[in-house]
């Protein structure tokens, strides 16, 4: 899949794109991410991207022309879903991540300051997505959150597909507790069933633990299912 990102801080994406799963997915050709500097789409000498809000008030607003030019140029001649990362958007969920991972090419708009002039949303944005009910200073971290979550859904990115299929939220439940060596930590032993070699018993223990963990930590997920 290809993801284009427009930002005024391209340098924020450097280490993120080079490291771990994302770095490997890119080098294997499973994921293509192109970062664009919004200022390359400005027309004035100062490469300015913001101005005072009409009507007064604090802060600056990102001007529409560079955004409209950038989105049109980058998406020209191909179908691209254009997403503005915004605290006012649809909350990002596991289901939404999977939908977007299969949606084809995406173009992500990362705002700054007080956000984008509303006319950008009216002309070149298909949808808004929020990563939670809090306000960050920019859309770059939300874009990285979305890219990383989607990349886990691309076949071949995570070594063992089973580990993605068993992740939290997939069956409306949280994942079961995980243990690795050593067998005893601070006097706490690994549950005996995990050392038993009885795969059916291990599976059934894990399913039971998923329900218990969900009931304890996220009862709202169980309520949604019923």
Q: Enumerate residues 16-75 that contact ligand SAM by CB under 6 A.
A: none
**Strands 32-37 and 184-185, bridge-based pairing:** unpaired
State which of residues 87, 96, 154, 166 lies at the interface with ligand SAM (CB under 6 A).
87
**Strands 32-37 and 2-7, bridge-based pairing:** parallel
- Distance (Å) of CA 162 to CA 71, 153, 158, 170, 179: 37, 11, 9, 11, 17
User: Given 105, 114, 128, 175, which residue is catalytic?
Assistant: 114
Q: DSSP class of residue 175?
A: P
207 flagged as catalytic: no
Residue 216 C-beta: closest distance to ligand SAM, Å:
27
Closest CA to 44 of 59, 63, 21, 57: 63
| Distance, CA of 223 to CA of 215 (rounded, Å) | 9
Residue 140 C-beta: closest distance to ligand SAM, Å:
8
Q: Enumerate residues 137-166 that contact ligand SAM by CB under 6 A.
A: 137-139, 142
111 is a site residue for ligand SAM (CB under 6 A):
yes
82 is a site residue for ligand SAM (CB under 6 A):
no
State which of residues 33, 83, 85, 124 lies at the interface with ligand SAM (CB under 6 A).
85
130 is a site residue for ligand SAM (CB under 6 A):
yes
Q: Which is nearer to ligand SAM, 85 or 174 (CB)?
A: 85
Q: Which is nearer to ligand SAM, 1 or 109 (CB)?
A: 109
Segment (H or E) for 71: helix 64-75
81 flagged as catalytic: no
Residue 89 C-beta: closest distance to ligand SAM, Å:
6
Q: Which is nearer to ligand SAM, 68 or 136 (CB)?
A: 136
**Strands 61-62 and 32-37, bridge-based pairing:** unpaired
171 is a site residue for ligand SAM (CB under 6 A):
no
State which of residues 100, 112, 120, 176 lies at the interface with ligand SAM (CB under 6 A).
112
167 flagged as catalytic: yes
Count CB neighbours of 159 within 10 A: 10
Count CB neighbours of 100 within 10 A: 22
152 flagged as catalytic: yes
DSSP helix/strand/coil, 171: coil
Q: What is the dihedral of CA 29, 144, 215, 202, to 10 degrees?
A: 30
- Contact residues for ligand SAM, defined by CB under 6 A: 85-88, 110-112, 114-115, 130-132, 134-139, 142
- Active-site residues, by number, are 87, 114, 152, 167
């Amino acid at each position: 899949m290809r993801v284009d990102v427009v930002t005024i801080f391209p340098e924020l994406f450097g280490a993120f794109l080079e490291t771990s799963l994302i770095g490997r997915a890119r080098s294997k050709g499973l994921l293509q991410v192109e970062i664009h500097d919004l200022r390359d789409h400005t027309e004035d000498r100062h490469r300015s991207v913001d101005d005072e809000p009409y009507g007064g008030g604090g802060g600056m607003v990102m001007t529409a022309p560079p955004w409209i030019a950038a989105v049109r140029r980058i998406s020209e001649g191909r179908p691209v879903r254009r997403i503005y990362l915004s605290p006012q958007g649809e909350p990002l969920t596991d289901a939404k991540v999977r939908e977007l991972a299969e949606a084809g090419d995406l173009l992500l708009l990362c705002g700054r300051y007080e956000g984008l002039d509303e006319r950008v949303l009216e002309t070149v944005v298909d949808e808004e997505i929020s990563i939670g009910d809090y306000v960050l200073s920019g859309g770059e971290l939300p874009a990285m959150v979305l890219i990383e979550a989607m990349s886990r859904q691309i076949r071949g990115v995570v070594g063992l597909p089973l580990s993605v299929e068993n992740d939290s939220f997939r069956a409306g439940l949280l994942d079961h507790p995980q243990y690795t060596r050593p067998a005893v930590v601070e006097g706490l032993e690994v549950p005996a069933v995990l050392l038993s070699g009885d795969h059916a018993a291990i599976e059934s223990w894990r399913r039971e633990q998923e329900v218990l963990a969900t009931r304890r930590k996220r009862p709202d997920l169980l309520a949604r299912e019923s």
